[in-house]
Structure 1
Amino acid sequence: MEIKIMKEGRKLKSIDPMNAVSAYIMPTRSGASNFFADSIDIEITENYIHEKRQQGLKGLGMMHIVLAAYVRAISQYPSVNRFIRGQKVYARNSIDMCLTIKKQLKLHAPETVIKIPATPTDTLEQVYKNTVSLIEENKREDTENGMDSVAKFLSFVPGVFLKFAVWILKVLDYFGLIPKSLVKVSPFHGSMFLTNMGSLGINAIYHHLYNFGNLPLFCSIGKKRNDYKVNPDGTVKKMRLMDLTVVCDERICDGHYYACAFKAWKKYIENPYLLDEPPEKVQIDI
Protein backbone atom coordinates (compact mmCIF):
# COMPACT_ATOMS: atom_id res chain seq x y z
CA MET A 1 0.00 0.00 0.00
CA GLU A 2 1.34 3.42 -0.96
CA ILE A 3 1.77 5.88 1.91
CA LYS A 4 1.18 9.45 0.77
CA ILE A 5 2.99 12.26 2.53
CA MET A 6 0.88 15.36 3.09
CA LYS A 7 2.17 18.55 1.49
CA GLU A 8 0.71 20.96 4.01
CA GLY A 9 2.64 23.98 2.84
CA ARG A 10 5.66 25.46 1.14
CA LYS A 11 8.82 26.56 2.91
CA LEU A 12 9.31 30.32 2.91
CA LYS A 13 12.78 31.46 1.89
CA SER A 14 12.31 35.23 1.69
CA ILE A 15 11.18 35.93 5.25
CA ASP A 16 12.71 38.44 7.65
CA PRO A 17 15.97 37.16 9.22
CA MET A 18 14.51 37.51 12.72
CA ASN A 19 11.64 35.22 11.79
CA ALA A 20 14.11 32.78 10.29
CA VAL A 21 16.17 32.40 13.48
CA SER A 22 13.40 32.76 16.08
CA ALA A 23 12.34 29.13 15.71
CA TYR A 24 15.85 28.08 16.77
CA ILE A 25 15.88 30.46 19.74
CA MET A 26 12.36 29.38 20.75
CA PRO A 27 12.16 25.75 19.57
CA THR A 28 8.80 24.88 21.14
CA ARG A 29 5.36 26.32 20.44
CA SER A 30 4.58 26.59 24.15
CA GLY A 31 7.74 28.64 24.63
CA ALA A 32 6.82 31.01 21.79
CA SER A 33 3.21 31.69 22.79
CA ASN A 34 1.68 35.15 23.00
CA PHE A 35 -1.60 35.76 24.82
CA PHE A 36 -4.23 38.18 23.57
CA ALA A 37 -7.72 39.12 24.77
CA ASP A 38 -10.41 41.46 23.45
CA SER A 39 -14.08 42.25 23.94
CA ILE A 40 -16.29 42.08 20.86
CA ASP A 41 -19.32 44.34 20.40
CA ILE A 42 -22.01 41.88 19.26
CA GLU A 43 -25.06 44.16 18.97
CA ILE A 44 -25.03 44.09 15.15
CA THR A 45 -23.94 40.45 15.18
CA GLU A 46 -26.92 39.32 17.27
CA ASN A 47 -29.31 41.14 14.92
CA TYR A 48 -27.61 39.44 11.98
CA ILE A 49 -27.95 36.02 13.59
CA HIS A 50 -31.66 36.62 14.23
CA GLU A 51 -32.21 37.66 10.60
CA LYS A 52 -30.31 34.69 9.16
CA ARG A 53 -32.11 32.19 11.37
CA GLN A 54 -35.41 33.49 10.03
CA GLN A 55 -34.02 33.05 6.51
CA GLY A 56 -33.30 29.36 7.14
CA LEU A 57 -29.82 29.19 8.72
CA LYS A 58 -31.10 27.16 11.65
CA GLY A 59 -28.83 27.17 14.68
CA LEU A 60 -26.51 29.88 13.35
CA GLY A 61 -24.48 31.18 16.27
CA MET A 62 -21.40 33.07 17.36
CA MET A 63 -19.21 30.04 16.73
CA HIS A 64 -20.03 30.08 13.02
CA ILE A 65 -19.48 33.85 12.85
CA VAL A 66 -16.05 33.59 14.51
CA LEU A 67 -14.97 30.78 12.17
CA ALA A 68 -16.17 32.56 9.02
CA ALA A 69 -14.59 35.84 10.16
CA TYR A 70 -11.29 34.04 10.69
CA VAL A 71 -11.40 32.59 7.17
CA ARG A 72 -12.01 36.08 5.79
CA ALA A 73 -9.17 37.52 7.89
CA ILE A 74 -6.82 34.86 6.48
CA SER A 75 -7.90 35.80 2.95
CA GLN A 76 -6.53 39.29 3.60
CA TYR A 77 -3.69 38.43 6.01
CA PRO A 78 -2.48 34.97 4.94
CA SER A 79 0.67 35.02 7.08
CA VAL A 80 -1.36 34.17 10.20
CA ASN A 81 -1.98 30.82 8.50
CA ARG A 82 1.71 29.92 8.49
CA PHE A 83 3.23 27.18 10.62
CA ILE A 84 6.57 26.00 11.96
CA ARG A 85 7.96 22.61 10.99
CA GLY A 86 11.52 21.46 11.52
CA GLN A 87 12.24 24.98 12.83
CA LYS A 88 11.41 26.43 9.42
CA VAL A 89 8.49 28.72 8.51
CA TYR A 90 5.92 27.41 6.03
CA ALA A 91 2.96 29.00 4.23
CA ARG A 92 0.00 26.66 4.64
CA ASN A 93 -1.71 25.41 1.48
CA SER A 94 -5.16 25.11 3.04
CA ILE A 95 -7.43 26.44 5.77
CA ASP A 96 -8.43 23.82 8.34
CA MET A 97 -10.15 24.79 11.59
CA CYS A 98 -10.43 22.32 14.47
CA LEU A 99 -13.35 22.10 16.87
CA THR A 100 -14.12 19.79 19.80
CA ILE A 101 -17.72 18.60 20.07
CA LYS A 102 -19.55 16.38 22.55
CA LYS A 103 -21.87 13.66 21.30
CA GLN A 104 -24.39 14.88 23.88
CA LEU A 105 -24.36 17.80 26.32
CA LYS A 106 -23.95 15.48 29.30
CA LEU A 107 -21.15 15.34 31.86
CA HIS A 108 -19.69 12.00 30.81
CA ALA A 109 -20.71 12.01 27.14
CA PRO A 110 -17.86 11.19 24.73
CA GLU A 111 -16.27 13.97 22.72
CA THR A 112 -14.52 14.11 19.39
CA VAL A 113 -12.66 16.61 17.22
CA ILE A 114 -13.72 17.70 13.74
CA LYS A 115 -11.68 19.57 11.13
CA ILE A 116 -13.58 22.13 9.08
CA PRO A 117 -12.00 22.81 5.68
CA ALA A 118 -12.43 26.22 4.09
CA THR A 119 -11.17 28.31 1.19
CA PRO A 120 -10.25 32.03 1.29
CA THR A 121 -13.27 32.89 -0.89
CA ASP A 122 -15.85 31.21 1.38
CA THR A 123 -18.84 33.22 2.56
CA LEU A 124 -20.33 32.88 6.02
CA GLU A 125 -23.11 30.66 4.69
CA GLN A 126 -20.60 28.25 3.17
CA VAL A 127 -18.63 28.00 6.43
CA TYR A 128 -21.90 27.56 8.35
CA LYS A 129 -23.09 24.72 6.10
CA ASN A 130 -19.74 22.90 6.23
CA THR A 131 -19.63 23.20 10.02
CA VAL A 132 -23.23 22.07 10.58
CA SER A 133 -22.80 19.11 8.24
CA LEU A 134 -19.66 17.89 10.02
CA ILE A 135 -21.15 18.39 13.49
CA GLU A 136 -24.33 16.48 12.63
CA GLU A 137 -22.35 13.66 11.05
CA ASN A 138 -19.97 13.28 14.00
CA LYS A 139 -22.54 13.69 16.77
CA ARG A 140 -24.21 10.40 15.91
CA GLU A 141 -23.50 7.74 18.53
CA ASP A 142 -22.65 5.17 15.85
CA THR A 143 -20.14 7.47 14.13
CA GLU A 144 -16.41 7.06 14.70
CA ASN A 145 -14.25 9.47 12.73
CA GLY A 146 -10.63 8.97 11.77
CA MET A 147 -9.23 10.63 14.90
CA ASP A 148 -11.45 8.50 17.12
CA SER A 149 -10.15 5.35 15.42
CA VAL A 150 -6.50 6.38 15.81
CA ALA A 151 -6.96 7.34 19.48
CA LYS A 152 -8.81 4.09 20.19
CA PHE A 153 -6.03 2.05 18.60
CA LEU A 154 -3.29 3.89 20.51
CA SER A 155 -5.16 3.45 23.80
CA PHE A 156 -4.59 -0.31 23.57
CA VAL A 157 -0.81 0.06 23.09
CA PRO A 158 1.18 -0.61 26.31
CA GLY A 159 2.60 2.56 27.85
CA VAL A 160 6.28 1.96 27.10
CA PHE A 161 5.56 1.16 23.45
CA LEU A 162 3.10 4.04 23.17
CA LYS A 163 5.76 6.45 24.39
CA PHE A 164 8.12 5.14 21.71
CA ALA A 165 5.38 5.36 19.04
CA VAL A 166 4.67 8.98 19.96
CA TRP A 167 8.41 9.75 19.78
CA ILE A 168 8.50 8.26 16.29
CA LEU A 169 5.51 10.40 15.28
CA LYS A 170 7.26 13.52 16.59
CA VAL A 171 10.38 12.73 14.57
CA LEU A 172 8.30 12.13 11.44
CA ASP A 173 6.42 15.36 12.08
CA TYR A 174 9.66 17.33 12.45
CA PHE A 175 10.69 16.27 8.95
CA GLY A 176 7.20 16.54 7.45
CA LEU A 177 6.87 12.79 6.96
CA ILE A 178 3.57 12.18 8.76
CA PRO A 179 1.32 10.13 6.43
CA LYS A 180 -1.44 12.10 4.71
CA SER A 181 -4.13 9.93 6.29
CA LEU A 182 -2.98 10.93 9.80
CA VAL A 183 -2.56 14.63 9.04
CA LYS A 184 -6.06 14.71 7.59
CA VAL A 185 -7.64 13.67 10.90
CA SER A 186 -5.09 15.07 13.36
CA PRO A 187 -6.42 17.85 15.64
CA PHE A 188 -2.80 18.94 16.13
CA HIS A 189 -2.40 20.01 12.50
CA GLY A 190 -4.40 22.92 11.11
CA SER A 191 -4.90 26.66 10.89
CA MET A 192 -6.56 27.22 14.25
CA PHE A 193 -8.45 25.51 17.07
CA LEU A 194 -11.63 27.06 18.44
CA THR A 195 -13.14 26.28 21.83
CA ASN A 196 -16.59 27.72 22.54
CA MET A 197 -16.70 28.14 26.32
CA GLY A 198 -19.73 30.40 25.96
CA SER A 199 -21.81 27.36 25.00
CA LEU A 200 -21.00 26.00 28.48
CA GLY A 201 -21.97 29.27 30.15
CA ILE A 202 -18.48 30.29 31.25
CA ASN A 203 -15.88 32.87 30.29
CA ALA A 204 -13.20 32.44 27.64
CA ILE A 205 -10.00 30.66 28.65
CA TYR A 206 -6.38 30.80 27.50
CA HIS A 207 -5.71 27.41 25.94
CA HIS A 208 -2.10 26.35 25.47
CA LEU A 209 -0.65 25.52 22.06
CA TYR A 210 0.49 21.98 21.30
CA ASN A 211 4.18 21.25 20.81
CA PHE A 212 3.24 18.34 18.56
CA GLY A 213 1.79 19.20 15.17
CA ASN A 214 1.71 22.70 13.74
CA LEU A 215 -1.36 24.59 15.02
CA PRO A 216 -0.27 28.24 15.33
CA LEU A 217 -3.37 29.62 17.04
CA PHE A 218 -5.90 28.64 19.71
CA CYS A 219 -9.01 30.78 20.14
CA SER A 220 -11.59 30.69 22.92
CA ILE A 221 -14.90 32.57 23.03
CA GLY A 222 -16.84 33.15 26.23
CA LYS A 223 -20.42 33.75 27.25
CA LYS A 224 -22.20 36.91 26.14
CA ARG A 225 -22.47 39.70 28.69
CA ASN A 226 -23.84 43.19 29.21
CA ASP A 227 -21.68 46.22 29.92
CA TYR A 228 -22.20 49.96 30.04
CA LYS A 229 -20.37 52.77 28.27
CA VAL A 230 -20.45 56.47 29.19
CA ASN A 231 -20.78 58.60 26.05
CA PRO A 232 -19.05 62.01 25.69
CA ASP A 233 -22.39 63.75 26.34
CA GLY A 234 -22.76 61.99 29.69
CA THR A 235 -25.42 59.49 28.63
CA VAL A 236 -24.97 55.80 29.36
CA LYS A 237 -25.23 53.18 26.63
CA LYS A 238 -25.88 49.52 27.30
CA MET A 239 -23.58 47.23 25.30
CA ARG A 240 -23.68 43.56 24.36
CA LEU A 241 -20.22 42.04 24.48
CA MET A 242 -18.46 38.72 24.02
CA ASP A 243 -14.91 38.11 25.22
CA LEU A 244 -12.43 36.41 22.91
CA THR A 245 -8.98 35.13 23.84
CA VAL A 246 -6.16 33.99 21.58
CA VAL A 247 -2.92 32.13 22.19
CA CYS A 248 -0.70 32.35 19.11
CA ASP A 249 2.74 31.34 17.90
CA GLU A 250 4.83 34.52 17.68
CA ARG A 251 7.35 32.95 15.29
CA ILE A 252 5.16 32.88 12.17
CA CYS A 253 4.82 36.66 11.69
CA ASP A 254 5.56 39.92 13.50
CA GLY A 255 3.40 41.74 16.04
CA HIS A 256 2.28 44.47 13.65
CA TYR A 257 1.00 41.89 11.18
CA TYR A 258 -0.81 40.00 13.93
CA ALA A 259 -2.41 43.25 15.12
CA CYS A 260 -3.72 44.05 11.62
CA ALA A 261 -5.08 40.52 11.22
CA PHE A 262 -6.79 40.56 14.63
CA LYS A 263 -8.37 43.96 13.89
CA ALA A 264 -9.76 42.57 10.63
CA TRP A 265 -11.02 39.44 12.41
CA LYS A 266 -12.79 41.62 14.99
CA LYS A 267 -14.28 43.84 12.27
CA TYR A 268 -15.82 40.84 10.51
CA ILE A 269 -17.22 39.41 13.77
CA GLU A 270 -18.77 42.75 14.69
CA ASN A 271 -20.26 43.22 11.22
CA PRO A 272 -20.91 39.78 9.66
CA TYR A 273 -22.87 41.36 6.81
CA LEU A 274 -19.41 41.80 5.26
CA LEU A 275 -19.19 38.01 5.04
CA ASP A 276 -22.28 37.53 2.88
CA GLU A 277 -20.23 37.94 -0.30
CA PRO A 278 -16.79 36.55 -1.23
CA PRO A 279 -13.83 38.91 -0.78
CA GLU A 280 -13.09 41.21 -3.71
CA LYS A 281 -9.46 40.10 -3.66
CA VAL A 282 -7.54 37.31 -1.94
CA GLN A 283 -4.03 38.11 -0.77
CA ILE A 284 -1.30 35.51 -1.34
CA ASP A 285 1.50 34.90 1.16
CA ILE A 286 5.04 35.73 0.03
Structure 2
Amino acid sequence: MATFPDGNITNMENAPAASGYRRRWGDRRDGRRLRTLAPYDTVSPYIMVGRNDSQNLITDSFECTAADRYVRHKRTEGYEGFGILHLIIAAYVRLVSQCPRVNRFIAGQKVFAAHDITVNIAIKREMNINETTTVIKIRFAPEDTATDVYRKFTEVLQQTIKTANTNFDNTAKIVNTIPGLLKKFAVWFLKTLDYFGKLPHAIIKVSPFHGSMFITSMASLGIPPIHHHLYNFGTVPVFIAFGTKRPVKVLDSDGALKEKKYIDYTVVTDERICDGFYFASCLKRLRRYLANPSMLDTPPETVVRDCT
Protein backbone atom coordinates (compact mmCIF):
# COMPACT_ATOMS: atom_id res chain seq x y z
CA MET A 1 0.00 0.00 0.00
CA ALA A 2 1.13 3.58 -0.56
CA THR A 3 0.07 6.77 1.20
CA PHE A 4 0.14 10.01 -0.74
CA PRO A 5 0.18 13.61 0.52
CA ASP A 6 -3.59 13.94 0.34
CA GLY A 7 -3.95 10.98 2.72
CA ASN A 8 -5.43 8.62 0.14
CA ILE A 9 -4.22 5.03 0.11
CA THR A 10 -3.72 3.11 -3.09
CA ASN A 11 -2.27 -0.25 -4.05
CA MET A 12 1.50 -0.23 -4.20
CA GLU A 13 1.61 -1.63 -7.71
CA ASN A 14 -0.56 1.24 -8.91
CA ALA A 15 1.42 3.90 -7.07
CA PRO A 16 3.75 5.99 -9.23
CA ALA A 17 7.42 5.67 -8.41
CA ALA A 18 9.26 8.88 -7.61
CA SER A 19 10.79 8.73 -11.08
CA GLY A 20 7.38 7.99 -12.64
CA TYR A 21 5.96 11.48 -12.28
CA ARG A 22 5.27 13.24 -15.53
CA ARG A 23 8.16 15.63 -16.11
CA ARG A 24 7.18 19.29 -16.22
CA TRP A 25 8.95 22.48 -17.13
CA GLY A 26 11.46 23.30 -14.41
CA ASP A 27 12.04 19.69 -13.32
CA ARG A 28 15.53 18.17 -13.40
CA ARG A 29 16.85 14.81 -14.52
CA ASP A 30 17.44 13.84 -10.89
CA GLY A 31 14.43 15.45 -9.25
CA ARG A 32 11.09 17.18 -9.66
CA ARG A 33 10.53 20.74 -8.60
CA LEU A 34 8.18 21.22 -5.66
CA ARG A 35 5.62 23.90 -6.43
CA THR A 36 3.25 23.88 -3.44
CA LEU A 37 5.71 24.79 -0.67
CA ALA A 38 5.18 27.52 1.91
CA PRO A 39 6.72 30.92 1.06
CA TYR A 40 9.45 30.54 3.68
CA ASP A 41 10.64 27.30 2.08
CA THR A 42 10.92 28.91 -1.35
CA VAL A 43 12.54 32.14 -0.13
CA SER A 44 15.18 30.66 2.21
CA PRO A 45 17.39 29.28 -0.63
CA TYR A 46 17.80 32.86 -1.86
CA ILE A 47 18.90 34.03 1.60
CA MET A 48 21.09 31.03 2.43
CA VAL A 49 22.53 30.56 -1.02
CA GLY A 50 25.15 27.84 -0.46
CA ARG A 51 24.84 24.48 1.22
CA ASN A 52 27.71 25.41 3.53
CA ASP A 53 25.71 28.47 4.64
CA SER A 54 22.79 26.26 5.57
CA GLN A 55 24.25 23.22 7.29
CA ASN A 56 23.25 22.07 10.77
CA LEU A 57 25.34 19.59 12.75
CA ILE A 58 24.28 17.10 15.38
CA THR A 59 25.96 14.28 17.28
CA ASP A 60 24.01 11.30 18.57
CA SER A 61 24.65 7.71 19.61
CA PHE A 62 22.79 4.43 19.94
CA GLU A 63 23.23 1.44 22.21
CA CYS A 64 24.15 -1.37 19.86
CA THR A 65 23.20 -4.60 21.64
CA ALA A 66 20.21 -5.14 19.35
CA ALA A 67 22.22 -4.07 16.30
CA ASP A 68 25.07 -6.49 17.08
CA ARG A 69 22.61 -9.32 17.60
CA TYR A 70 20.92 -8.47 14.30
CA VAL A 71 24.25 -8.38 12.45
CA ARG A 72 25.24 -11.79 13.82
CA HIS A 73 21.86 -13.20 12.82
CA LYS A 74 22.22 -11.90 9.27
CA ARG A 75 25.65 -13.44 8.95
CA THR A 76 24.35 -16.83 10.12
CA GLU A 77 21.71 -16.54 7.39
CA GLY A 78 24.52 -16.41 4.84
CA TYR A 79 24.90 -12.66 4.33
CA GLU A 80 28.66 -12.62 4.65
CA GLY A 81 30.12 -9.33 5.77
CA PHE A 82 26.78 -7.84 6.79
CA GLY A 83 27.61 -5.05 9.21
CA ILE A 84 26.59 -1.85 10.93
CA LEU A 85 27.10 0.10 7.71
CA HIS A 86 24.43 -1.95 5.93
CA LEU A 87 22.12 -1.53 8.90
CA ILE A 88 22.47 2.26 9.03
CA ILE A 89 21.90 2.57 5.28
CA ALA A 90 18.84 0.30 5.49
CA ALA A 91 17.50 2.39 8.37
CA TYR A 92 18.01 5.56 6.35
CA VAL A 93 16.29 4.12 3.28
CA ARG A 94 13.32 3.16 5.46
CA LEU A 95 13.37 6.64 6.98
CA VAL A 96 13.11 8.23 3.54
CA SER A 97 10.18 5.94 2.69
CA GLN A 98 8.27 7.46 5.61
CA CYS A 99 9.77 10.97 5.74
CA PRO A 100 10.36 11.97 2.09
CA ARG A 101 11.27 15.59 2.85
CA VAL A 102 14.79 14.52 3.87
CA ASN A 103 15.22 13.37 0.27
CA ARG A 104 14.79 16.89 -1.06
CA PHE A 105 17.62 19.01 -2.39
CA ILE A 106 18.28 22.61 -3.42
CA ALA A 107 19.49 23.46 -6.91
CA GLY A 108 19.36 26.82 -8.63
CA GLN A 109 17.67 28.25 -5.49
CA LYS A 110 14.73 25.91 -6.11
CA VAL A 111 13.54 22.98 -3.97
CA PHE A 112 13.35 19.54 -5.59
CA ALA A 113 12.25 16.06 -4.54
CA ALA A 114 14.80 13.47 -5.62
CA HIS A 115 13.58 10.79 -8.01
CA ASP A 116 15.30 7.98 -6.12
CA ILE A 117 17.33 7.26 -2.98
CA THR A 118 21.01 7.43 -3.88
CA VAL A 119 23.67 6.78 -1.26
CA ASN A 120 27.29 7.76 -1.88
CA ILE A 121 30.22 6.10 -0.12
CA ALA A 122 33.94 6.78 -0.42
CA ILE A 123 35.94 3.54 -0.32
CA LYS A 124 39.47 2.21 -0.64
CA ARG A 125 40.09 -1.07 -2.44
CA GLU A 126 42.89 -1.72 0.06
CA MET A 127 43.28 -0.25 3.54
CA ASN A 128 46.63 1.46 3.21
CA ILE A 129 47.70 5.09 3.02
CA ASN A 130 48.96 4.79 -0.55
CA GLU A 131 45.69 3.48 -1.97
CA THR A 132 43.57 6.16 -3.64
CA THR A 133 39.95 6.72 -2.75
CA THR A 134 37.04 6.19 -5.11
CA VAL A 135 33.32 6.72 -4.68
CA ILE A 136 30.50 4.27 -5.24
CA LYS A 137 26.85 5.21 -5.66
CA ILE A 138 24.03 2.82 -4.87
CA ARG A 139 20.43 3.49 -5.80
CA PHE A 140 17.72 2.13 -3.55
CA ALA A 141 13.94 1.96 -3.67
CA PRO A 142 11.83 3.08 -0.68
CA GLU A 143 10.45 -0.46 -0.44
CA ASP A 144 13.89 -2.02 0.06
CA THR A 145 14.51 -4.19 3.11
CA ALA A 146 17.84 -4.62 4.92
CA THR A 147 18.50 -7.67 2.76
CA ASP A 148 17.81 -5.68 -0.43
CA VAL A 149 20.21 -3.00 0.78
CA TYR A 150 22.92 -5.60 1.48
CA ARG A 151 22.55 -7.21 -1.95
CA LYS A 152 22.61 -3.94 -3.90
CA PHE A 153 25.52 -2.63 -1.85
CA THR A 154 27.52 -5.85 -2.25
CA GLU A 155 26.89 -6.02 -6.00
CA VAL A 156 28.18 -2.47 -6.59
CA LEU A 157 31.12 -2.93 -4.20
CA GLN A 158 32.28 -6.17 -5.82
CA GLN A 159 32.06 -4.64 -9.28
CA THR A 160 34.13 -1.68 -8.07
CA ILE A 161 36.80 -3.87 -6.47
CA LYS A 162 37.17 -5.89 -9.69
CA THR A 163 37.40 -2.78 -11.87
CA ALA A 164 40.71 -0.98 -12.20
CA ASN A 165 38.99 2.35 -12.77
CA THR A 166 35.37 3.20 -12.06
CA ASN A 167 33.34 5.66 -14.12
CA PHE A 168 34.02 8.19 -11.37
CA ASP A 169 37.77 7.57 -11.64
CA ASN A 170 37.70 7.89 -15.44
CA THR A 171 35.73 11.14 -15.25
CA ALA A 172 38.15 12.57 -12.69
CA LYS A 173 41.09 11.62 -14.94
CA ILE A 174 39.54 13.43 -17.89
CA VAL A 175 39.02 16.59 -15.84
CA ASN A 176 42.57 16.28 -14.50
CA THR A 177 44.04 16.41 -18.03
CA ILE A 178 42.67 19.92 -18.54
CA PRO A 179 45.23 22.69 -17.87
CA GLY A 180 44.75 24.60 -14.62
CA LEU A 181 43.07 27.79 -15.86
CA LEU A 182 40.85 25.90 -18.29
CA LYS A 183 40.06 23.39 -15.56
CA LYS A 184 38.76 26.21 -13.41
CA PHE A 185 36.56 27.35 -16.29
CA ALA A 186 35.39 23.75 -16.91
CA VAL A 187 34.33 23.37 -13.28
CA TRP A 188 32.54 26.74 -13.41
CA PHE A 189 30.77 25.63 -16.59
CA LEU A 190 29.65 22.38 -14.95
CA LYS A 191 28.38 24.29 -11.93
CA THR A 192 26.46 26.62 -14.21
CA LEU A 193 24.88 23.72 -16.07
CA ASP A 194 23.95 22.15 -12.74
CA TYR A 195 22.44 25.42 -11.51
CA PHE A 196 20.05 25.46 -14.44
CA GLY A 197 19.41 21.71 -14.30
CA LYS A 198 21.22 21.03 -17.57
CA LEU A 199 24.08 18.88 -16.30
CA PRO A 200 24.26 15.70 -18.44
CA HIS A 201 22.82 12.62 -16.79
CA ALA A 202 26.08 10.75 -17.43
CA ILE A 203 27.88 13.16 -15.08
CA ILE A 204 25.14 13.11 -12.44
CA LYS A 205 25.28 9.31 -12.51
CA VAL A 206 28.94 9.20 -11.45
CA SER A 207 29.22 12.44 -9.48
CA PRO A 208 29.87 11.98 -5.72
CA PHE A 209 28.33 15.41 -5.20
CA HIS A 210 24.87 14.34 -6.37
CA GLY A 211 22.63 12.03 -4.37
CA SER A 212 20.39 11.65 -1.35
CA MET A 213 23.00 11.03 1.31
CA PHE A 214 26.74 10.58 1.76
CA ILE A 215 27.88 8.17 4.47
CA THR A 216 31.33 7.41 5.82
CA SER A 217 32.49 4.86 8.38
CA MET A 218 35.13 5.93 10.86
CA ALA A 219 34.75 2.56 12.61
CA SER A 220 37.09 0.89 10.13
CA LEU A 221 39.69 3.51 11.07
CA GLY A 222 39.12 3.11 14.80
CA ILE A 223 38.32 6.78 15.40
CA PRO A 224 35.25 8.83 16.40
CA PRO A 225 33.00 10.21 13.65
CA ILE A 226 33.71 13.60 12.14
CA HIS A 227 31.23 16.31 11.21
CA HIS A 228 31.73 16.31 7.47
CA HIS A 229 30.73 19.46 5.62
CA LEU A 230 28.22 19.44 2.80
CA TYR A 231 29.28 20.30 -0.75
CA ASN A 232 28.05 23.49 -2.39
CA PHE A 233 28.35 21.79 -5.77
CA GLY A 234 25.79 19.08 -6.46
CA THR A 235 22.72 18.10 -4.50
CA VAL A 236 23.68 15.96 -1.46
CA PRO A 237 21.65 17.36 1.50
CA VAL A 238 22.76 14.94 4.25
CA PHE A 239 26.15 13.62 5.37
CA ILE A 240 26.32 10.86 8.00
CA ALA A 241 29.46 9.58 9.70
CA PHE A 242 29.68 6.92 12.39
CA GLY A 243 32.54 5.77 14.55
CA THR A 244 33.85 2.74 16.36
CA LYS A 245 32.04 1.14 19.28
CA ARG A 246 32.84 2.49 22.72
CA PRO A 247 32.10 0.92 26.12
CA VAL A 248 29.92 2.84 28.57
CA LYS A 249 29.17 2.00 32.21
CA VAL A 250 25.43 2.31 32.87
CA LEU A 251 23.07 1.49 35.72
CA ASP A 252 20.35 -1.04 34.95
CA SER A 253 16.85 -1.00 36.44
CA ASP A 254 18.13 -2.86 39.53
CA GLY A 255 20.86 -0.33 40.16
CA ALA A 256 23.64 -2.69 39.09
CA LEU A 257 26.54 -1.31 37.07
CA LYS A 258 26.79 -2.84 33.62
CA GLU A 259 28.91 -2.21 30.58
CA LYS A 260 27.19 -1.56 27.28
CA LYS A 261 28.52 -0.52 23.89
CA TYR A 262 27.49 2.58 22.02
CA ILE A 263 28.13 3.82 18.50
CA ASP A 264 28.44 7.56 17.99
CA TYR A 265 27.28 9.08 14.74
CA THR A 266 27.05 12.59 13.33
CA VAL A 267 24.54 14.03 10.90
CA VAL A 268 25.09 17.20 8.86
CA THR A 269 21.98 18.46 7.10
CA ASP A 270 20.88 21.22 4.76
CA GLU A 271 18.34 23.09 6.85
CA ARG A 272 16.60 24.49 3.77
CA ILE A 273 15.00 21.18 2.76
CA CYS A 274 12.71 20.93 5.81
CA ASP A 275 12.19 22.45 9.26
CA GLY A 276 13.77 21.50 12.58
CA PHE A 277 10.67 19.75 13.89
CA TYR A 278 10.65 17.47 10.86
CA PHE A 279 14.37 16.74 11.24
CA ALA A 280 13.85 15.92 14.93
CA SER A 281 11.05 13.52 14.05
CA CYS A 282 13.33 11.87 11.49
CA LEU A 283 16.10 11.44 14.06
CA LYS A 284 13.71 9.79 16.50
CA ARG A 285 12.48 7.44 13.79
CA LEU A 286 16.06 6.58 12.82
CA ARG A 287 16.81 5.72 16.45
CA ARG A 288 13.79 3.43 16.53
CA TYR A 289 14.97 1.50 13.48
CA LEU A 290 18.46 1.09 14.92
CA ALA A 291 17.05 -0.11 18.22
CA ASN A 292 14.67 -2.54 16.48
CA PRO A 293 16.46 -3.69 13.31
CA SER A 294 13.97 -6.49 12.64
CA MET A 295 11.57 -3.76 11.46
CA LEU A 296 13.77 -3.54 8.38
CA ASP A 297 13.26 -7.18 7.38
CA THR A 298 9.93 -6.50 5.68
CA PRO A 299 8.95 -3.76 3.22
CA PRO A 300 7.10 -0.77 4.69
CA GLU A 301 3.33 -1.07 4.79
CA THR A 302 3.04 2.37 3.24
CA VAL A 303 5.37 4.60 1.25
CA VAL A 304 4.81 8.32 1.77
CA ARG A 305 5.33 10.54 -1.26
CA ASP A 306 6.41 14.16 -1.07
CA CYS A 307 4.12 17.01 -2.02
CA THR A 308 3.80 18.26 -5.58
Task: Give the structure 2 partner of residue 91 of structure 1.
Answer: 113
Alignment length (residue pairs): 281
Q: Matches of residues 96-175 of structure 1 in structure 2 within 5 Å? A: 96-140=118-162, 142-175=163-196
User: Counterparts of 1:121 and 1:50 in 2: how far apart (Å)?
Assistant: 23
Give structure 1 regions of 4+ aligned residues with deviation exceeding 6 angstroms: none
Task: Give the structure 1 partner of residue 24 of structure 2.
Answer: none
User: What letter is aligned with 2:159?
Assistant: E
Q: Matches of residues 246-257 of structure 1 in structure 2 within 5 Å? A: 246-257=267-278
User: What letter is aligned with 2:38?
Assistant: D
User: Counterparts of 2:141 and 2:288 in 1: how far apart (Å)?
Assistant: 19
Q: Matches of residues 260-275 of structure 1 in structure 2 within 5 Å? A: 260-275=281-296
Task: Give me the CA root mean square deviation.
Answer: 1.2
The alpha-carbon deviation at position 143 of structure 1 amounts to: 2.8
Residue 202 of structure 2, aligned match among 181, 197, 201: 181
Structure 1 unmatched ranges of 5 or more = none
Provide, for residues 209-263 of structure 1, a one-character-per-residue CA deviation record: whole Å limited to 9, x for no partner: 0000010000001001110222454322322110010110000000011111111
Contact preservation (8 Å) 1:6, 1:179: no
Q: Matches of residues 28-39 of structure 1 in structure 2 within 5 Å? A: 28-39=50-61
User: What letter is aligned with 2:55?
Assistant: S
User: Counterparts of 2:28 and 2:129 in 1: how far apart (Å)?
Assistant: 36
User: Counterparts of 1:175 and 1:36 in 2: how far apart (Å)?
Assistant: 31
After TM superposition, the score normalised by the length of structure 2 is 0.89
Q: Secondary structure of the equivalent of 2:183?
A: helix
Q: Secondary structure of the equivalent of 1:181?
A: helix
User: Counterparts of 2:253 and 2:94 in 1: how far apart (Å)?
Assistant: 33
Structure 2 unmatched ranges of 5 or more = 1-26
Task: Give the structure 2 partner of residue 219 of structure 1.
Answer: 240
The alpha-carbon deviation at position 17 of structure 1 amounts to: 1.5
User: What letter is aligned with 2:268?
Assistant: V
Q: Secondary structure of the equivalent of 1:260?
A: helix
Contact preservation (8 Å) 1:209, 1:217: yes
Which deviates the most, 131-140 or 117-126? 131-140
The alpha-carbon deviation at position 98 of structure 1 amounts to: 0.1
Q: Matches of residues 38-49 of structure 1 in structure 2 within 5 Å? A: 38-49=60-71
After TM superposition, the score normalised by the length of structure 1 is 0.96
